[in-house]
Structure formats: structure tokens, C-alpha cells
Amino acid sequence: MTRMETAMEPEATLAPGLPIVSGRRVGKLFGDFRALTEVSIDVEEGEVVCIIGPSGSGKTTFLRCLNQLERIDEGALWLDGELLGWRLESDRLHPLPEAEIARQRRKTGMVFQRFNLFPHMTALQNITEGPVQVLREPRGQAEDRGRRLLSRVGLAEKASSYPKDLSGGQQQRVAIARALAMNPKVMLFDEPTSALDPELVGEVLSVMKDLARAGMTMVVVTHELGFAREVADRVVFMDQGRVVETGPAQQLMDDPQEERTRNFIRSVLGRE
């Protein structure tokens, strides 16, 4: 029996009225290594929250827990008012079966550092595969929307191109369109520009800025501090698996309250 399969903590009864994303005292262990410790992060609908911090601070682990690629060991996560990964029965938590986890996961669109496109499929086929196979959309309908999404990310002319014929920035924009094709409630970005050559970063960030202006709820793990300052509503700074500081983007970036946050921002800006 895992630690989660115990008497339910008080927070787990609080789903009504929560933000669209809510984490309460989330903990994650990998063997003896504690990757997350009491991480509490809320995201309101339509809000953009950027998570920054040094390598190994737990940023990506939290995102993977939110997308249920990792199962949390402590605390609780909700998405759109639904407890993620667990069901409540007789005041005890029990893990959901994989089919239910897959259903919950469809509420999030995940964009990874690496593009993970199917190399044997065109850009359009990469985008339409999920809606057709998972959502059971008619192929013609999925392709029509796929073309609109390609246009939205500035790649209308690349529908028939294969990943090998696309630049890294173009592949990442196809990956964003692919995630959007599943009609997610929340878009999750895990350092989406870290694998790109510097001259290609701007085209991906431009698409993300357009999504933010359109009101898409976004949680973005990023090392692009300029993007965080410009686009985020709030910034969360993490270190050693904990939330050190959170606040409005410009306030946290310009006048952080914690010394660890100040040192991190100073060191990153000094390298740019």
C-alpha cells in the first residue's frame, strides 16, 4: 500500500471552487531521492504561469506529475475540479486504472523539449492521428482542423512535409499544433525551446505568445526569463524540489523577495 492509499488528507475534499489547476503539498520520490517536497501551485483558467529554477529543481517533475507521466507520492493534484490519478472511497484514496488516467490526461496538452513527432508521418498526419484514433473524430473533420492549426502556428504550407524536412523550430510548432488538436483544457510546456538553435527560439516563443493572448491556460517550464517576464501572469521559482517564491511576473523578476531567487536570476541574466 502506498502512502497515498491512506486516510484522505483534508485538502482532497476541497475540489469545488479550486482553480483549473491546483497542487497541494505535492511530494514525489524516486527511490531515496526526494524530487518534490510540499509543492503547492495554483493556476487560474486563462492564466499563464511560468516555472523557473536551476536544473534539478523539480520543475519538469512537477509538470510530469500534472500530466500523470509520474504518479505523486504525497499531497494531491486537481485539474478542472477533478482529483488526478486517484479516487476517493470510504475516505481513502486508491489509484485510478490506466484507462481513467488516460481520460484525465486528455485534458492536458504536453509539449516536450524534444519534438517526438512520428518520423513516418507528415506534419498534418502527426496532428490528426490523436483526434482520429483517440477522440474518434472523422478523418476529414480532423484534417480540416489540422490545417487550421498548422496555419495558426505559421506552417500552412508544410502540411505534406515530413519531420526530417522541417527545422527544429518548425517541428516544435507542429508539436504545439498536435497538442492543441486534442482540445486540452491546459497546455503544458517543458522547456520547449531548450533543444533549438538560438535563431529558431523566437518563432516558437511567438506561437506561445499568441496562445497566451488568445486566453489559453498555460504552465510553462522555461529558462527564457525574458519570455517569462513578458508573457507570464505569475512566475514560480523552484529550487531543490520546493517552491521558494511565487508572485506576479514583473514583480518577481525585477524585485524578488528571496535571496535564492535573486541569485538565480542574476546568474542567468549574467550569462545572457
List the chain domain ranges.
44-68+98-269
The number of angstroms, rounded, from the C-alpha of 250 to the middle of its chain's C-alpha atoms is: 21
Task: Report pLDDT digits (tens) over 184-221.
Answer: 999 999 999 998 988 899 999 999 999 999 999 999 99
Q: Give the pLDDT score at 171.
A: 96
Q: What is the distance between the alpha carbons of residues 71 and 238, in angstroms, rounded to a whole number?
A: 20
DSSP 80: T
Domain 44-68+98-269 has CATH 2.30.110.10: no
User: Is residue 9 predicted with pLDDT exceeding 70?
Assistant: no
User: Is residue 4 predicted with pLDDT exceeding 70?
Assistant: no
| Whether 96 contacts 104, CB under 8 Å | yes
Q: How confident is the model at residue 2 (pLDDT cuts 50, 70, 90)?
A: very low
Q: Give the pLDDT score at 271.
A: 60
Q: What percent of the chain has pLDDT over 90?
A: 83
Sign of torsion over alpha carbons 151, 200, 48, 174: positive
Provide the H-helix boundaries in 112-223.
123-133, 139-152, 168-180, 198-213
Exposure on the CB side of residue 201, measured as CA atoms within 13 A = 13
DSSP 13: G
User: Beta-carbon neighbour count of residue 71 at 10 Å?
Assistant: 16
In b/e form, how buried is each residue of 4-39, taking b as 16+ CB within 10 angstroms?
beeebeebbeeeeebbbbbbbebbbeeeeebbbbeb
